[in-house]
């Protein structure tokens, strides 16, 4: 992303001004292990990526916020003197939701011109929406001197998506985008928000993200369905042992209590969440011990559970993971994100990456008719101001 090009487009859109243009960046994220646990009060292990959303912003001296992006044709503006209204399924709802959440906290912004540009693949499940929310919150916090702590900005981003956009997401995506640290992953307890930065010492191994290039059409509806199935499991277990969420149970405790869940499919959903928490804890322990092979095996087990117990993978993700695991230099591979399309994340030895991309790509295309995209991921910092 060339900031000078973005700055030139900004001035073409909004005209020259004596007011300074400020620049900000917030990354996308990939979750290494701990999937569909965040809204169950569980453990996740994401890292921020080196690609994400850039934002240039400038005060315009008026009472309107003007929105534009390099990624879509649709632009818009809203008046600060009128109630905010959601605009269909427009991307503008994400930054507008952040402004709305600030307003709910009695923090008012002035008129501003905003130009976004993202290099996260659209629909890949690498959290472009969270990066938009976090870059917006970071910019407004800096520009208007709100002095909001970073963790509170993370909560504002999540609330914007829950309350304004209407997506009942957990906090992981905004947390990873806001709190990320270069060459570290984030071990987060989603119930308490206690977290630890864990060094990613991979020693000749790279993180490879593979995009199925399948639109995730089922992701939203199935996501809500899985949430309600987990809530049902909590409700039924709570009749004999009150718990606020599934993540309060260990695997051994679940084995004793699982027969209280009347439906087999709901029992399997709960088993995934509780076993995934156990895998995440063991994976971080393995990483801290330098046992990357064990970490990779737990990634493989995570995918199996997401496929069999949680049923959120689908043919494309399963083919990618199956083909990835056949490559000798693959340490581990799994789906990442909501599922039903989107991406896989794999740990691959550097000397095997060329073979991985060629063989996995060819075999995936033969079986699905779709060409995948590959990204060698760099682990970067969280949301921040940048020089323009």
Full set of structural domains in the chain with CATH: 3-199+380-386 (3.30.230.10), 205-377 (3.30.70.890)
Q: What angle do the packed helices 172-179 and 128-143 form, to 10 degrees?
A: 50
HEC assignment per residue over 74-89: CCEEEECCCCCCCCCC
Q: What is the pLDDT of residue 218?
A: 60
**Active-site hit among 38, 113, 173, 309:** 173
Residue showing tokens 């270069």: 182
Distance of CA 238 to the CA centre of its chain: 30
On whether the CB atoms of residues 349 and 205 are closer than 8 A, the answer is yes
Q: What is the pLDDT of residue 95?
A: 97
Q: What is the pLDDT of residue 215?
A: 73
61-80: burial string, b at 16+ Cβ within 10 Å, e else: eeeebbbbbebeeeeeebeb
On whether the CB atoms of residues 190 and 246 are closer than 8 A, the answer is no
Q: What is the pLDDT of residue 185?
A: 97
Please count the helices (runs of H) and the strands (runs of E) in the chain.
11, 13
Nearest-angstrom CA–CA distance, 169 and 38:
9
Q: What is the pLDDT of residue 222?
A: 87
Q: What is the pLDDT of residue 1?
A: 61
Q: What is the pLDDT of residue 216?
A: 65
* Cα dihedral value 262, 265, 270, 276, nearest 10: 160
Q: What is the pLDDT of residue 74?
A: 87
On whether the CB atoms of residues 97 and 160 are closer than 8 A, the answer is yes
| pLDDT < 50 regions, the chain | none
Rounded to a whole number, what is the distance in angstroms from the first to the last CA of the chain?
Answer: 12
SS3 call for 307: helix
pTM of the full structure: 0.93
Q: What is the pLDDT of residue 18?
A: 87
Q: What is the pLDDT of residue 217?
A: 62
Q: Within 10 A of 88 (CB to CB), how many other CB atoms are there?
A: 7
- In the annotation, is 173 catalytic? yes
């Amino acid at each position: 992303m060339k900031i000078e090009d973005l700055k030139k487009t900004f001035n073409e859109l909004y005209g020259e001004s004596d007011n300074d243009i400020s620049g900000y960046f917030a990354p996308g994220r990939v979750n290494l292990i701990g999937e569909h646990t965040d809204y169950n009060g569980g453990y996740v292990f994401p890292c921020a990526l080196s690609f994400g959303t850039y934002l240039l912003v400038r005060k315009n001296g008026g009472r309107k916020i003007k929105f534009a992006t390099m990624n879509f044709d649709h632009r818009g503006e809203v008046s600060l003197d009128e109630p905010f209204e959601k605009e269909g399924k427009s991307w503008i709802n994400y930054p507008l939701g952040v402004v709305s959440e600030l307003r709910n906290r009695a923090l008012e912004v002035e008129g501003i011109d905003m130009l976004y540009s993202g290099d996260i693949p659209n629909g890949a499940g690498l959290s472009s929406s969270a990066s938009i929310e976090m870059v917006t919150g970071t910019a407004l916090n800096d520009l208007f001197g709100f002095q909001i702590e970073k963790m509170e900005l993370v909560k504002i981003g999540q609330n914007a998506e829950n309350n304004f956009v209407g997506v009942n997401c957990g906090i992981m995506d905004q947390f990873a985008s806001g709190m990320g640290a270069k060459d570290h992953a984030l071990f987060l307890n989603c119930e308490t928000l206690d977290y630890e930065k864990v060094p990613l010492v991979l020693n000749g191994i790279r993180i490879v993200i593979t995009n199925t290039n399948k639109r995730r059409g089922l992701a939203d509806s199935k996501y809500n369905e899985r949430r309600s199935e987990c809530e049902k499991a909590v409700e039924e277990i709570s009749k004999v042992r009150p718990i606020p969420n599934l993540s309060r149970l260990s695997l051994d405790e679940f084995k004793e209590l699982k027969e209280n869940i009347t439906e087999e499919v709901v029992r399997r959903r709960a088993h995934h969440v509780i076993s995934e928490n156990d895998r995440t804890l063991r994976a971080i322990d393995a990483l801290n011990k330098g046992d990357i092979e064990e970490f990779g095996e737990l990634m493989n087990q995570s995918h199996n559970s997401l496929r069999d117990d949680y049923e959120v993978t689908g043919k494309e993700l399963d083919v990618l993971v199956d083909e990835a695991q056949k490559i000798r230099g693959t340490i581990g591979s799994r789906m990442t994100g909501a599922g039903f399309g989107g991406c896989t994340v794999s740990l691959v030895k550097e000397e095997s990456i060329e073979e991985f991309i060629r063989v996995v790509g060819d075999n995936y295309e033969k079986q699905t008719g779709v060409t995948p995209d590959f990204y060698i991921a760099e682990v970067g910092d969280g949301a921040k101001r940048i020089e323009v």
